[in-house]
């Protein structure tokens, strides 16, 4: 059974319950973030980069440390193009099954892999998206204590089960709104279609007047919106 129809409902329930995560940006601004999980992949990610290059739009990538170590050249290609980089854990194990020490080690190992591949300060990569979107209040507290920023999502078309490019595009277009954070995958599950999906999706969203920004920009816009309305 595909879960895509239930993700918008889940989002509406969880977002107010965990307000310190980034779920979306400013609902009054026509900006959206295109994000990609589970990479980098030595084949699928370069195919995706060609599409992003063609439209000259920024994206955000949440990487697995193991994949960075397997494809460091691809990781460097992504970083050199100015895309935003975040953490997705070292090997896609759900955070709740890890001990506190294991979670911290997983995040640090991923930071170190990114730092080595991209030649940057490991502490500059602070955004964390939990694999499968699973976390607990205790995990969020730990992330805050370690000075990470927890990033979630607002549009999840379930592309990793490969329902077809047209279906994924349709799901995104039905759900997208101001400030949306869209989740696609450029890893082993779903990455086969990610370039084709993005190539169809981006021009339609641009035609609707959306501006693509990074997750970091969504953070800034969301925080400014919250300050004005608190």
**pLDDT band at 132; cut points 50, 70, 90:** confident
C-alpha atoms less than 13 angstroms from C-alpha of 17 in its C-beta half-sphere: 10
- pLDDT tens digits, one per residue of 159-209: 999 999 999 999 999 999 999 999 999 999 999 999 999 999 999 999 999
C-alpha–C-alpha distance, residues 68 and 85, integer Å: 11
Is 38 in the active site? no
Residue 8 has pLDDT above 70, yes or no: no
pLDDT of residue 194: 98
Contact 186, 57 (CB under 8 A): no
Is 112 in the active site? no
CA distances (Å), origin 222, targets 86, 98, 129, 190, 199? 18, 30, 17, 29, 27
- Domains in the chain (CATH in brackets) are 21-228 (3.20.20.370)
**pLDDT band at 11; cut points 50, 70, 90:** very low
Q: What integer is the mean pLDDT of 44-49?
A: 98
* Cα-to-chain-centroid distance, residue 204: 20
Q: The dihedral of CA 87, 162, 10, 207: what is its sign?
A: positive
Q: What is the pTM of this model?
A: 0.93
Residue 14 has pLDDT above 60, yes or no: no
Report the chain's mean pLDDT, rounded to a whole number.
92
**pLDDT band at 224; cut points 50, 70, 90:** confident
C-alpha–C-alpha distance, residues 11 and 117, integer Å: 34
User: Peptide bond preceding 40: is omega within 30 degrees of 0, i.e. cis?
Assistant: yes
Catalytic residue among 92, 185, 186, 216: 185
């Amino acid at each position: 059974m595909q879960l895509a129809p239930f993700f918008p409902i889940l989002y509406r329930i969880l977002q107010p319950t965990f307000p310190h995560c980034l779920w979306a940006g400013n609902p009054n601004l026509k900006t959206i973030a295109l994000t990609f999980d589970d990479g980098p992949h030595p084949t699928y990610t370069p195919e995706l980069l060609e599409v992003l290059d063609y439209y000259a739009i920024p994206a955000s990538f949440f990487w697995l440390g193991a994949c960075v170590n397997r494809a460091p050249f691809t990781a460097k290609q992504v970083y050199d193009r100015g895309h935003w980089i975040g953490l997705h854990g070292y090997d896609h194990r759900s955070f709740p099954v890890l001990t506190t020490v294991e979670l911290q080690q997983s995040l640090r190992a991923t930071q170190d892999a990114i730092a080595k591949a991209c030649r940057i300060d490991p502490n500059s990569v602070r955004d964390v998206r939990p694999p499968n979107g699973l976390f607990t209040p205790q995990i969020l507290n730990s992330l805050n204590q370690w000075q990470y920023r927890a990033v979630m999502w607002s549009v999840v078309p379930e592309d990793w089960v490969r329902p077809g490019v047209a279906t994924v595009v349709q799901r995104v277009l039905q759900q997208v709104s101001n400030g949306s954070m869209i989740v696609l995958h450029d890893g082993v599950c779903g990455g086969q279609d990610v370039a084709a999906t993005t190539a169809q999706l981006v021009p339609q969203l641009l035609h609707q007047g959306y501006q693509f920004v990074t997750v970091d920009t969504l953070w800034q816009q969301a925080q400014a919106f919250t300050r004005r309305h608190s």
